[in-house]
Amino acid sequence: MTDQGYEEELRSERDYVAGLYTRLDAERARVKAEYEAALGGNGVGAMERDVGVRSLGRQVKRLDVVDNGLCFGRLDAVSGERSYIGRIGLFDEENDYRPVLLDWRAPAARPFYTATGANPEDMHRRRQFHTRGRRVLGFTDEDLGRPGGDAQGDAALLAAVNAPRGEGMRDIVATIQAEQDEIIRLDHPGVLVIEGGPGTGKTVVALHRVAYLLYTQRERMERHGALVVGPNPAFLDHIGRVLPSLGETDVVFTTTGDLVPGLHVTAEDVPEVARRKGSLKILDVLKAAVADRQRLPAEPVPIALKDVTVRIDAETAEWARQEARDSGLPHNEARAKFVEIVTYVLTERALGRIGKGWLSRDDRDEWESMRKGLLEDLAVDEKFTATIDELWPKLTPEGLLSSFYASAPADSGLFRARGDAWTVSDVPLLDELADLLGQDKTAEKAADAAAARARQAEAEYAEGVFQTMKLDREEMDEDVLLSAENLLYAEDLAERFEEADTRSLVERASADRDWTYRHVVVDEAQELSEMDWRVLMRRCPGRSFTVVGDLAQRRSAAGARSWGAMLKPYVAGRWVYRSLTVNYRTPAEIMAVAAAVLAEFAPEVKPPDSVRACGVRPWSRLVVPDELTSAVEEFVREEAGREGTSIVIGPPGVPGTVPASETKGLEFDAVLVVDPAAILADSPADLYVALTRATQRLGVLHEGPLPAALGGLAEVVRS
């Protein structure tokens, strides 16, 4: 194509994309107007209004976040048909809803990612736009169906991976590779495990898979949304922009320490304690702790009623306890059965004494009247209530676990002077106890009954208003009367007393421990314990998961040593495995150093192959203790003058550095690793992680001898 031809094509493409933005703005204005009208109610019921508001709210958000790079490519078929590819789909309403922009997830858009020179899939050309905001800066064409046709596509990929890192992870919607696309669109209803070494893009592939599922299964998923679980808040902040940039916002992001609403836990146990708490064997310990609170009285407890004294003895309590346990209900819900048996025994004994000699069993009304009186007396008897609370107390997960830790033997590893000083390993235990304990629903039932009475009163009031209007019909204008009747129809008027719940899905799901999701993504999944998995399986009864991890990077003593062993109890036969082998982030020079470390502690694992070299050899520098601070400051100053991001990684507790465990999944243009020997001694996997965070430049500062595995670094000597 000549320069003149290119400029003419560029003007044409700019005009087309400008037209797409005109359609986007019009659609956005229409949906926002409908959203504001829905907020006003428009005469519909509260439930219908809530559903409409949420649906329109989702559309508003979806349209609000796709401005940047709305259209990023064009696909030309051999037949001459052209398709523009973008973040969302747009249609020509005046022309049979002909698509003017294909959503990247649509089946017709797939060849944009999978067509090659060797297998063009009936495509002639792939065009990729270079954009900034709403403006098309230029384009690159890739001719398909002839040798060497992939060269421009490779150039587009390399341009993307070589670009300086910005704030947060970027989506790869314009440069998805064929092996990634296959995983993103995989039609599997169970658990998909994606394993890959550093830089293989497994996290961003998983996020694009969520966006794909939200698109293809919109009706099924949008009422429950998806959950993304990451290793720490910094990681979640890093990846948090990807799904919104793809037009998807019905996703909750959390860590394992935040899975129970109201808790935000970051502290960790020492490895041996974490391993013990993370094992399924802890279930028996928790169940025993609950059972230990279901007690029998050491001596009969006298309960003095008005006409008789009765006793709660061990035999009665044991019968009640067994009946309550056999009910299969959680502890707090089974309490009602325990109380029922105890009160039955006490009232039977009391009635036998009160009615002895003058009342026969045929006098049913008299018996029931006396029983009712006895039950009322027991309900307000403080000693009876206190005894029930002692024998079958109402328990909370936090209270039970806290007291358990505080009373544990000092040498058990579980003792803690302050029982509620929660760690991340405690969160799944608290969640398990929430199921084992359940809730005491007495107050809830009373509240429901009161609410039902209030609704009935509101309905009766509304009906009264309506009837009054009918009586005054002759005195009212006919149009006014008709409008008022429509407005004040009894059932609708009562419903208007209810406050609409306009919270977003993310807000509602985050606050509800019993919320269930249609799909769950678990990143850095090799770190999760057996107990962590129980929590997540409860959150997703349909067992639809995308599991992302790298067993070679496992550092948790309670983490996975094999995917099969961890998943078999829940989805035996319903999980599939896919691997990513190409490293898009780490240049070959840096990966060679990291691979030597990997070979030391996991020789059976093959490192991913880097797609590029950066031309800069990683370096090391020997410093004396007094020089360390100034050497770090020198690195920070140098990188501050360059475009991109940087970080200093060191052993835990070293001032001015970030532990490697907190950088998992993150990427930076430049990385400085401090004291690699100390990191290696603490965790070989952590050193591997630290070395593979850099996309361009890697430096190492060491005070003592370098670990042998780092012999490939270029030693820098400062005069």
Cα 656 to Cα 316, 413, 706: the distances in Å are 65, 32, 21
For 77-95, b/e burial (b = at least 16 CB within 10 A) is beeeeebbbbbbbbeeeee
Which run of H or E residues covers position 276? helix 271-278
Amino acid letter for position 159: A
Contacts of 463 (CB under 8 A, 6+ apart): 490
Question: Residues with Cβ < 8 Å from 483, sequence gap 6 or more?
Answer: none
DSSP designation for 121: T
User: Is 196 marked within a binding site?
Assistant: yes
198 is in an annotated binding site: yes
Q: How many Cα atoms within 13 Å fall on the side-chain side of residue 469? A: 19
DSSP state of 108: G
299 exposure class (CB count in 10 Å sphere: 0-12, 13-18, 19+):
exposed
CA distance 458 to 469: 17
CB contact set of 628 (below 8 Å; sequence gap of 6+): 674, 701, 703
**Token duo for residue 593:** 């150093």
Tokens of 42: 């428009």
As a whole number of angstroms, the distance between CA 225 and CA 216 comes to 13
**Comparing C-alpha atoms, which of 516, 439, 502 is closest to residue 259?**
516
Residue 138 counted as an annotated binding residue? no
Residue type, 496: R
Place of tokens 């599997």: 188
Q: Round to whole Å and give the CA distance between 518 and 255.
A: 18
DSSP string, 30-79: HHHHHHHHHHH-TT--HHHHHHHHHHHHHHHHHHHT--TTSEEEEEEETT
Q: Rounded distance, CA 68 to CA 84, Å?
A: 16
Rounded CA-CA distance 672/623 in Å is 14
What is the residue type of 698?
L
Q: Is 470 annotated as a binding residue?
A: no
Annotated binding residue 200? yes
Which residues lie below 8 Å from residue 102, measured CB to CB, with a gap of 6+? 83, 84, 85, 86, 89, 108, 109
Q: Which of 566, 302, 314, 264 is nearest to 422 (CA)?
A: 264
Strand partners of residue 435? none
Q: How distant, in Å, are the alpha carbons of 59, 82, 94, 514 from that of 101?
A: 17, 10, 15, 39
In angstroms, the CA 74 to CA 109 distance is: 9
- Cβ proximity of 197 and 584 under 8 Å: no
Residue 243 buriedness (CB in 10 A; 0-12 / 13-18 / 19+): buried
d(CA 184, CA 171): 13
Could you tell me which residues are annotated as the binding site for ATP? 196-203
Could you tell me which residues are annotated as the binding site? 196-203
